[in-house]
Chains A and B, each alone.
Chain A
Amino acid sequence: MINIPDFANASAVQIIFCVLAFITLLTAFLTIYSRNPIHSAIYLVICFFSIAGHYFLLNAQFLAIVHIIVYSGAIMILFLFTIMLMNLNEKKEVHRPRITRLGAIVSFVLISLILIAIFINSKPIVGEYTSTGEDYQSIKVLGKVLLNEYMVPFEFASVLLLVAMIGSVLLSKKEKLEK
């Protein structure tokens, strides 16, 4: 099922995909592997950028932009701030028992195998990707869908963000010890 890409005759898009995918996987791995949390965060930012690149590749420009803003911009900054706030570095990393590592690797292998096996077993994918030519992912269309069909969840999402904001403020406020 897995088609080995024919690099010799690869089109530009294919090459871009391969590069992006490689970057995504590598940085994701490095995020986990790196001992220094700061490095991890930075690798993660790169990973997010590459995913945004995938979005561009898939012609989802709006989502790609939002992704960069939210993830690389907001979330990762939050991570970095927190890491710095806690002053984490390599030395604070505790020793991991071998059994943990072994368990992690085993389950990694297991879940990969299972997921891949599922997709291999699932119905073959249609070879031809027809296109109706309809516009479905421009900002205009997305806005209409979001504010018509998904208006209520959209509003809820805003409420959620508000609540999250209040919650995080409350949580990170220094507790006044009342006796």
Chain B
Amino acid sequence: MNTNLSLLLLLAPFLGFLINIFFGKSLGKTVAGIIGTLTVAVSFAVSLYFFGQITASKEPIQIQLFDWIQISNFKVDFGFLLDQLSILWLLFVTGIGSLIHLYSISYMHDDEKMHTFFAYLNLFVFFMITLVIGSNLLVMFIGWEGVGLCSYLLIGFWYKNQEFNDAAKKAFIMNRIGDLGLLIGIFILGMLFNTLDFSTLKIGISGATDLNMYWLSAAAFALFIGACGKSAQIPLYTWLPDAMAGPTPVSALIHAATMVTAGIFMITRMNFLFDLTPDVQSIIAVVGAITALVAATIGLVQNDIKKVLAYSTVSQLGLMFLALGLGAYEVAVFHVITHAFFKACLFLGSGSVIHALGGEQDMRNMGGLKKAMPITFGTMLIASLAISGVPLFSGFFSKDEILLVAFHSNIPLWLIGSIASIMTAFYMFRLMFLTFFKEFRGTAEQKHHLHESPSLITLPLIVLAILATVGGLISLPGNSWLNEYLTPILPKLATAAHHLGTTEYILMAIAVVGGLIGIGLAYAKYIKQDSIPAEDAAITGFSKVLYNKYYVDEFYDAIIVKPINVLSGFFRDTIETSLSSLVFGLGKVTNEISFQGKKLQSGSIGLYLFAFVIGLCAIISYLFLAQ
């Protein structure tokens, strides 16, 4: 029963993919969209069933299908592990997935290749489910790389534009750098523990007494590099902003809610490993904090509505990594969930705006959309409040817990996180004010076409906005359902103390005040002063550095891409030719020897005879006299 259901869970989106890719064109756009949405909805329903089962039984479901890869000291099964963590992830992947599918039916309706789009989306969900429910690291790796492939396909969905293709390629390759790290981590774990299975690994690592800390840390660090690639952390984050080249639903689904959280999922899955390697944990925390800050500063000055959201995503992911690094996995997971709600909502809302403006993404050309698009505005406002950490919205609870944890372990990290949160509030409301308030700054034609999006678009927005509001309920401070739910995965939770003291309340207040300061600053600048971000050419000073993203892309280009290309040219033109001429040179030497040797063949019989006699002498003396 469970086996069949899990297969249904996994294969329903795959079936959708097959139908859409092979018959999508003849089925028509709407049918293709409905098939795509329904198959994901089926998975969601199955996930709900499993959720019910696990809350009742609290026993993880292990499913083994067949032997996959045979290694000398262990074998890798193709199997599933449905425990609290994976089911939680399944719920929001398939849940938000179906909402975004629904949204896309309307959003992508004008695109001639809508069936392909749905096929890819379905394929993505399929791989994401594989990633989440894989019972060992390698099955997870299938999903891990598979979502990378889908991300590549979807970023480059409008493949006629080579810049989009470049962005897609960049995303794929950056991810692959991380994947190499993940693979190395898998190798080390395989060698150390002779298994890749999560449950066996857990027993092996927790139960072992004489662990080799050096290799354990190496494995944890390698896994973390993998997570960095997938979850866009420094130094591998630059692909995510570029990935906004894809259609907006893709940005919402893949690059905000689901795929980028895979790194957090993986680290949470492997918490038993990371708990033993405090050095790596502190690296994770620091990297997360710095990423949060750097991305937030860049987000302050971006003018492309999706880019702002992208940097905000990177920044929020940084906060989650901060939590992971501090060992507060449940907090990170909590933030992943709330973030999925409000960030998906924000992306879909921005998509709705872009849709209404006929593809315009520059906030300098927006403004005053509040009246034309009330639902979009309302939902996005809720989501912005949530992300800014305004009390009672979901983001408040999750972000606050992260900062709380940070404060208890390391004050500088807390400070960095707090600054990043203030900045988040600022740029989110900058976005809101620039987009929805004041007068419309676009062309007259755009203004003429301004309209609220159709209900297929607004419905998911509303649902997500509601979730963004109430999502915090799953883990209220002091009385956390989530912590209780995750206890089997994170055994530490059972013993952790949950009490709210004065410090906690003060910190909360600081966070709230910080958020409000951010909002207030944005209000002062963009509503009171009515300033509009300058044209690209007019940006100067530090904001120019920020606007150009600290020139990190250029830096990578200069120290990695260019040298490799130069090296490639050097190899191709110099080394290859010289190696080739070496071989030809060998031939030439032979030729030359034979040419010189030809001269011995003088035709002079006298000489031949002389040589003959001398040779005879030599042979005879060798045969008879040499002994």
Question: Within the complex, what minimum Cβ distance (angstroms) separates A111 from chain B?
Answer: 6
Contacts of A87 in B (CB 8 A): none
Interface residues of A in 125-175 (CB under 8 A from B): none
Q: Are A118 and B606 neighbours in the complex by a CB distance under 8 Å?
A: no
Q: Are A117 and B625 neighbours in the complex by a CB distance under 8 Å?
A: yes
B513 within 8 A of A: no
A121 within 8 A of B: yes
Question: Within the complex, what minimum Cβ distance (angstroms) separates A22 from chain B?
Answer: 26
Q: Are B625 and A118 neighbours in the complex by a CB distance under 8 Å?
A: yes
Q: Nearest chain-B residue to A103 (Cβ)?
A: B610
Q: Are B617 and A110 neighbours in the complex by a CB distance under 8 Å?
A: yes
Q: Are B617 and A107 neighbours in the complex by a CB distance under 8 Å?
A: yes
A100 within 8 A of B: yes
Q: Nearest chain-B residue to A104 (Cβ)?
A: B610
Question: Within the complex, what minimum Cβ distance (angstroms) separates A97 from chain B?
Answer: 9
A66 within 8 A of B: no
A114 within 8 A of B: yes
Tell me how many residues of A have a C-beta within 8 Å of chain B: 12
Contacts of A114 in B (CB 8 A): 617, 620-621, 625
Contacts of B616 in A (CB 8 A): 111
Contacts of B610 in A (CB 8 A): 103-104, 107
A103 to B611, CA, bound (A): 10
Q: Nearest chain-A residue to B621 (Cβ)?
A: A114
A121 to B621, CA, bound (A): 11
Q: Are B613 and A111 neighbours in the complex by a CB distance under 8 Å?
A: yes
B583 within 8 A of A: no
Q: Are B617 and A118 neighbours in the complex by a CB distance under 8 Å?
A: no
Q: Are B625 and A107 neighbours in the complex by a CB distance under 8 Å?
A: no
Q: Are A118 and B624 neighbours in the complex by a CB distance under 8 Å?
A: yes
Interface residues of B in 581-627 (CB under 8 A from A): 606, 610, 613-614, 616-617, 620-621, 624-625
Q: Nearest chain-A residue to B616 (Cβ)?
A: A111
Contacts of A110 in B (CB 8 A): 613-614, 617
A122 to B414, CA, bound (A): 105
A117 to B620, CA, bound (A): 11
A55 to B196, CA, bound (A): 99
Q: Are B624 and A121 neighbours in the complex by a CB distance under 8 Å?
A: yes
Question: Within the complex, what minimum Cβ distance (angstroms) separates B49 from chain A?
Answer: 102
Closest 6 A-B residue pairs measured CB to CB? A107-B613, A118-B624, A103-B610, A110-B617, A114-B621, A114-B617
A-B contact sample (17 more), CB < 8 A, given A100-B606, A110-B613? A103-B610, A104-B610, A107-B610, A107-B613, A107-B614, A110-B614, A111-B613, A111-B616, A111-B617, A114-B617, A114-B625, A115-B620, A117-B625, A118-B620, A118-B625, A121-B624, A122-B624
6 contacts across the A-B interface (CB closer than 8 A): A100-B606, A103-B610, A104-B610, A107-B614, A110-B613, A118-B625
